[in-house]
Amino acid sequence: MRPHSRQILSVEETFGANGWHCELVDGADVLRSGFEGHHTRVDLIAQAHPQLNALSVVTETPMTLTEVSQPYVFELLMRANKPLTLGGFEYDLEREVLVFRITNLFERERYDADIIASMVHCAIAELDRLVPYVATVRQTAPDLLADLDLERLLERDDLIPPLPEAEMEEEEY
């Protein structure tokens, strides 16, 4: 079995420094972790690509779709991806999981801890943010799906938790 790369070990160190539990996968430059989001349990996979000096962070949550709701959820994902600069949503049909993936290229073999932490926060928050929108599509009666305005649905902010900064500001007053 080959040893883990310096890159994935720097990711493991960042997880430890943040108090996040993770497990390195034997024989691969991969670590696994899990987090509780506001809406769902999020499984996280971080994979180092030493040849490229790149890190991919992938978050997933189980999400079964009916044949009728699939095209609407796929359109929702496309619309959610459109304004994103970093990362993107996917749906894995075989495993029935909703996915968010973000990748970054680093200058050095030892990845920057602040960037790693930002990638982890982003991947968890983005996936968790989309879950209630997908749930709305899944819970819409099949005969009403064609009437569902997906663009307006994504504009609803009552389905997502307030940003931590906003909560802190409210507590100060």
Residue 91 is part of a domain; what is its CATH number?
3.30.1460.10
Buried b (16+ CB within 10 A) or exposed e, 114-144: eebeebbebbbbbbbbbbbbbebbbebeeee
| Long-range contacts of 25-32, Cβ-Cβ distance < 8 Å, separation of 24 or more | 26/1, 27/1, 27/2, 29/4, 29/5
Average pLDDT over residues 93-117: 94
Terminal-to-terminal C-alpha distance of the chain: 57
Q: Assess contact for 133 and 89: CB atoms under 8 A.
A: no
Total of domains in the chain: 1
pLDDT band at 172 (very low <50, low <70, confident <90, very high): very low
124 inside domain: yes
- pLDDT for residue 6: 92
pLDDT tens per residue across span 37-96: 888 999 999 999 999 999 999 999 999 999 999 999 999 999 999 999 999 999 999 999
1 inside domain: no
- pLDDT for residue 163: 62
58 inside domain: yes
Q: Tokens 């024989």 belong to which residue?
A: 27
CB atoms within 10 A of CB 57: 25
117 inside domain: yes
- pLDDT for residue 162: 67
pLDDT reading at 173 higher than 90: no
| Average model confidence (pLDDT) across the chain | 91
| The overall pTM is greater than 0.85 | yes
| Domain enclosing residue 142, as ranges | 6-172
List Cα–Cα distances, 74 to 3, 70, 152, 168, 171, in angstroms: 39, 6, 16, 35, 38
